[in-house]
Chains A and B, each alone.
Chain A
Amino acid sequence: MNGFAVEIHDMVKTFGDFVAVDHVSLQVKTGEIFGFLGPNGAGKSTTIRMLCGLLIPTSGSASVVDIDVAKAPEQVRRNIGYMSQKFSLYDDLTVEQNIDFYSRMYGVPRERRAERKDYVLRMANLTERRDALTRELSGGWKQRLALGCAILHDPPVLFLDEPTSGVDPIARAAFWDLIRDLARTGHTVFVSTHYMDEAEYCHRLALMHRGKVIALGAPAELRRGLNHHSLLRLDTTAPLDTMRAIEGAPGVVEVAVFGSGLHVVVEEAERAMEEIRRRLGAKGIEIRRLEKILPSLEDVFVAMIEAEERKAA
């Protein structure tokens, strides 16, 4: 063991002319919650499916708990739990029937089945609803049941592909509590999401864009990143006029509307603030608030993706 639960080395996946995953390499440590971020179509699901042996990489390799996915997919499957983007339980079976079915499919030994079932029912808080038809459960319950069914065989590594999409915020928070519990008990969780607040729960993150990993690190590291630029929050009486006035000014990299005000990416905070005050003063625009702020992950990722887009264009 080299301490990595998941290792991806230069993996490529093409569908015809379309490059879905473009030379991706990364490593996930055992016990880590590894977040996989990026817009739809960035290649997150394709990467996860290759790690589960559901898709065969065009080139490159991957291993899960030191087992090569291409060489021994069956052995890998014994060590992983997978929750696909689509809800993948049987709607027309009861909660308990779903658990029993997957328990047998995963080959959970007969003597451990009752115990695992109790664990999953308790974890998903479904003990009282065990006889309910799965289709009658709300989104949050279904999601927790799906997670429960994916970990019946107690796998060390979990792949969760946008597990919380379409679930209300309270259920999402409850779901992340479960994920953190699992990580605390030594499970590695590889989870994709497009909710930025969820990214903050992860130990490390990878940002994917157009098949490439364009940023990789802990949330705090990434936030500091921004290519040594600073972020200013600017509120004025006339945001659109303000944008026109300061765009292209020396030291200003980028201006974006953010809520009721503007986020301005600048090279050097003090000098840029001076320049902005000067320009807006000349135009007679009143500044309500101008200060340096800590970028959120969303700012970081939007800036990074826009930088990538500019490079491509």
Chain B
Amino acid sequence: MWERIGAILRKEFIQTLREPRLRFLLFMPPLIQLIIFGYTVTLDVDHARIAWMDKDRTPESRALLARFQGSGRFDVVALADNEDEVQSILDHSDAHAVISVLPGFARDLARGRTAEVQVLLDGTNSNTASLVSAYSAGVIQAFAGDVRPKQAKNRQTIRVEARGPGGAAGMAAAPITAQTRVWFNPDLRSRNYFVPGVAANIMLMITLMLTAQAIVREREIGTMEQLMVTPMRPIELILGKTLPFALVGLTNLALVTGAALLIFRVPFRGNFLLLLFCGALFMMTSLGAGLFLSTISHTQQQANMAAFFFNTPAFMLSGFTFPIRNMPQSVQYLTYLDPLRYFMEIIRGVFLKGVGVSVLWPQMASLAVYGVIILTLSALRFHKNLD
């Protein structure tokens, strides 16, 4: 039995590594993907473009403007004089938001009344809009906090009115300020959150495609028929076909992790060996799924399409970009069928939180069970005849 598995392994390695083009394809695209994903998949707004409309024109309103400019998060790109200009700025996407200091701002501050600032947001990209809204509220709140001690008698508030296309959402900068302390990712860099997830995605894609192709290829070139007349057992073929790609997958995991640390300076707080072990568990599911796809495909194109149809929902349901808790309940149940979901939780936990088996065991157990089921299923589906 091991003799035959060894023979298949050796053959796969010779075939895979013979061509420089294929060697390149195995290891370079994952890195390129990581780099592209790493730079593009970020939801942070570093330099929000804002327009400024000062209807108060007082030292206090200019002090607020200085606050915005000094915050490092905003670039004031235009000064608007009237509502028409505001409209035009938002229509042309010249700015993410227009901040309008309403008349009587300084007077209200002086009298200890609630002063008003209006934030008009371009809500086309809701994520950017809510971030800009939150950042502006933060700056205004800080400003309110600083002017307060001067009039210690009065509790000072500035009312922020944020307005997106959907209507107004008033936010009162509450007199009670909440102290927020962020754990694990103190800068709230979304890259830290996404890059480990990209590594998980890349592993799924590579191993799924390679295995789905491997068996179908033998069928297409006719060697499968020849293999079937040897005394080979299905399990021998399956192990011989998956082990090389498991190795490729783990190499990719190590490579991509290294790149994530060096290029993107993503913190790695956990145990690398644990990550590799979980990677192996995860690959039982992705290789199993690849094998399963190869048992239902007749040509390499079909296998590719099938892999694509598996990959995309797996990606969407994994919680990679869209938090699972925000999904409808029924879809949340569906995510339990997605092996990537478990590995996504594991890889983020290991990278960012540094947690170990004591926390991650439910995900690890899920992957193991999933892997055994799908590998068994595809082994059962693989018959040694052409019917």
Contacts and interface: CB of A to CB of B under 8 A. Distances in A.
Nearest to B229: A82
A88 B231 contact: no
Interface string B174-206: 000000000000000000000000000000000
Nearest to A108: B3
A105 B387 contact: no
Given A49-B386, A106-B230, A86 B3 contact: no
Contacts of A53: 229, 384-385
A92 B229 contact: no
A104 interface: yes
B222 A88 contact: yes
Contacts of A88: 221-223, 225-226
A78 interface: yes
A107 B226 CA distance: 14
Contacts of A119: none
B369 interface: no
Nearest to B230: A105
Interface string B244-275: 00000000000000000000000000000000
B18 interface: yes
Interface in B362-387: 384-387
Contacts of B171: none
Interface stretch (B4-12, B114-122, B303-311): B4-12
B15 interface: yes
B228 interface: yes
A115 B200 CA distance: 48
A102 interface: yes
| Chain A: number of interface residues, binned into ranges | 20 to 34
Contact of A54 (B19, B223, B228): B228
Contact of B387 (A55, A80, A92, A106): A55
B255 to A, nearest CB: 25
Contacts of B152: none
Contact of B226 (A55, A73, A80, A84): A84
Contacts of B14: 92-93, 97
B43 interface: no
B229 A54 contact: yes
B225 A86 contact: yes
B232 interface: yes
A105 B18 contact: no
A107 B386 contact: no
B227 interface: yes
B185 to A, nearest CB: 47
A270 interface: no
Contacts of B223: 88-90
Contacts of B8: 105
Interface in A18-75: 49, 52-56, 73-74
Contacts of A89: 223, 226
A54 B222 CA distance: 13
A77 B230 contact: yes
Given A93-B11, A104-B3, A105-B4, A56 B226 contact: no
A92 to B, nearest CB: 5
Contacts, number: 78
Looking at chain B's contact residues, the main secondary structure is: helix
Given A93-B11, A93-B15, A107-B3, A84 B222 contact: yes
Nearest to A15: B387
Nearest to A103: B7
Contacts of B227: 105
A76 to B, nearest CB: 9
Contacts of A104: 3-4, 6-7
A256 to B, nearest CB: 37
Contacts of A78: 231
B229 A80 contact: yes
Interface in A86-128: 86-93, 97, 100-102, 104-107
A93 B298 CA distance: 24
A105 B231 CA distance: 7
A78 B225 CA distance: 15
Nearest to B237: A105
Interface in B271-289: none
Given A80-B229, A90-B15, 8 more contacts: A56-B387, A77-B231, A82-B226, A87-B222, A104-B4, A104-B7, A105-B227, A106-B230
Interface of B: 3-4, 6-8, 10-11, 14-15, 18-19, 221-223, 225-232, 384-387
- Which 8 A-B pairs have CB atoms at the shortest separation, nearest pair first? A86-B222, A104-B7, A88-B226, A105-B230, A82-B229, A88-B222, A84-B225, A54-B386
Interface of A: 49, 52-56, 73-74, 77-78, 80, 82, 84, 86-93, 97, 100-102, 104-107, 149-150
18 contacts: A53-B384, A54-B386, A73-B384, A77-B229, A86-B222, A86-B225, A87-B222, A88-B223, A88-B225, A88-B226, A90-B11, A92-B18, A93-B11, A93-B14, A104-B7, A105-B7, A105-B230, A150-B226
